Amino acid sequence: MAKSRSASYASPAYVVDGARTPFLKARGRPGPFSASDLAVSAGRSLLARQPIAPDQLDEVILGCAMASPDEPNIGRIVALRLGCGNKVPGFTVMRNCASAMQALDSAVRNIWLGRADMVLAGGTEAMSRAPVLFNEDMVNWLADLARAKAPLDKALHMTRLRPKHLAPEIALIKGLTDPIVGMNMGQTCEVIAQRFGISREEMDRFAARSHHRLAAAFDEGRMDEEVVTLYDPSGRTYEEDDGLRRDSSEEKLATLKPFFDRRVGQVTAGNSSQITDGAALLLLASEAAVKKHKLEVLGTIEDTEWAALDPAEMGLGPAHASAPLLQRHGLGIDDVDYWEVNEAFAGQVLAVIEALADPEYSRKELGLDDALGRIDESKLNIDGGAVATGHPVGASGARIVLHALKVLERQGGGTAVASLCIGGGQGGAMLLKGTAGETS
């Protein structure tokens, strides 16, 4: 169902530059940085590279899926911490795994409409700091305690506390489970892997390759411009994604047990993306801002597609979003020079590749006349993906857009698609054009 869109707008949406923090794996306890700390680290380095001052931005938009209670509207908080001053508004968006892509899309729309000239947009997440909550029984018990006024009443109420009251709710687990279909994200991957016949071996091979590709990218200096260094207050520095396993191999991965469907499943912790903290920010600008400040640009965000599908098969979201996006622009699969498909799970990306290559699926479920084709894996996630970097839910959408534009820059320009699957049964895809380093 292709939607019609007006092609007239005030200005193209240029991407000037971007930066991300190293992504840090959650290790069972709160990590050293809050979500706003991460965004501030990425943001201040990014802004230091520009000829503009923070208070010249028109707004700051951040994606964040699990904001902490003491960072309400993290977009605004980060704007203030970055020194944008009192006059720069900020807001926060949430579209699960694509929250940062939604933030970019919102920024793009404002530039198209002429409402903003320079926007700092992206996303951040500190999954290691997701709260541990009192369960509903406990909350009710506390409410009743507050209402009991007389000391005797209070004492009596204390005796009503039971062990079950103390069982915490782990917000993180809740966040990664679809409440409508009652499945966690890993289980949705099992569903589509089964549907498209993806084997355990193929998943593990893909996962190992993701680690090796990311390792090569860091070792060969290809990540230097994107990834800033983090400094924590205990004197430690972080320069690389710390979930990266240089020694990853199919053999090692084959020894892991299935994580989501015990015993009989194929998705393991090793061939899934990891729970991670990180932030990624981009500076977007209108034509007028680019001219006025003589900004060098990486490229443009041409268009975005949001698609929805059965939550139980949410992993196929990228197929549902990319197909109409390309069709609308009259592009075939060979017209795309580079792909980023977020690796929520190795098996999920492989299923997306199969789905886009499958004529029947394309006709029945994607509304196409025929299959788009098979994505060339040498043009897909060539510097590794979320299986190796980790997937901070609120930030990944911006990471893949930034990296796709950096790859296009290396290649001298071209067209890229960056896409993610979204928990809850959605997909998001962005069409990007590189400018080969020219100033517009």
403 has catalytic annotation: no
Asked whether position 48 contacts another protein by CB under 8 A, the answer is yes
Asked whether position 81 contacts another protein by CB under 8 A, the answer is yes
Which residue in the list 211, 212, 320, 391 is annotated as catalytic? 391
Looking at the Cβ atoms of 157 and 292, the one nearer to another protein is 292
Q: Which of 233, 247, 262, 438 binds another protein (CB under 8 A)?
A: 233
Measured from the CB of residue 234, what is the shortest distance to another protein in angstroms?
6
Measured from the CB of residue 224, what is the shortest distance to another protein in angstroms?
10
Asked whether position 236 contacts another protein by CB under 8 A, the answer is yes
Asked whether position 174 contacts another protein by CB under 8 A, the answer is no
Q: Are 299 and 378 in contact (CB under 8 A)?
A: no
Closest to 366 in 3D by CA, of 423, 429, 414, 273: 429
Asked whether position 4 contacts another protein by CB under 8 A, the answer is no
Counting every residue written for the chain, the total comes to 440
Which residue in the list 64, 84, 189, 421 is annotated as catalytic? 421
Asked whether position 213 contacts another protein by CB under 8 A, the answer is no
421 has catalytic annotation: yes
Looking at the Cβ atoms of 82 and 297, the one nearer to another protein is 82
Q: Which of 15, 24, 39, 40 binds another protein (CB under 8 A)?
A: 40
Q: Are 410 and 404 in contact (CB under 8 A)?
A: no
DSSP state of 183: E
Q: Which long-range contacts (CB under 8 A, 24 or more apart) does 353-358 make?
A: 353/377, 353/380, 354/196, 354/197, 354/198, 355/192, 355/196, 355/316, 355/319, 356/319, 356/322, 356/323, 358/196
Measured from the CB of residue 33, what is the shortest distance to another protein in angstroms?
12
Scanning 98-106, 226-234, 247-255, 307-315 for contacts with another protein by CB under 8 A, the matching segment is: 226-234
Q: What are phi and psi of 350, to 5 degrees?
A: -60, -40
Owner of token pair 């091979």: 205
Which spans in 240-389 are helix H?
Answer: 250-254, 287-293, 317-328, 346-357, 359-366, 386-389
What is the residue type of 167? A
Q: Are 387 and 271 in contact (CB under 8 A)?
A: yes
Measured from the CB of residue 161, what is the shortest distance to another protein in angstroms?
32
Measured from the CB of residue 21, what is the shortest distance to another protein in angstroms?
13
Scanning 49-57, 211-219, 342-350, 412-420 for contacts with another protein by CB under 8 A, the matching segment is: 49-57
Asked whether position 30 contacts another protein by CB under 8 A, the answer is no
Closest to 390 in 3D by CA, of 238, 251, 250: 238
The distance from CA 262 to its chain's CA centroid, rounded to whole angstroms, is 27
84 has catalytic annotation: no
**Contact footprint for another protein (CB under 8 A):** 40, 44-45, 48-49, 51, 53, 81-83, 229, 231-237, 239
Catalytic residue ranges: 97, 391, 421
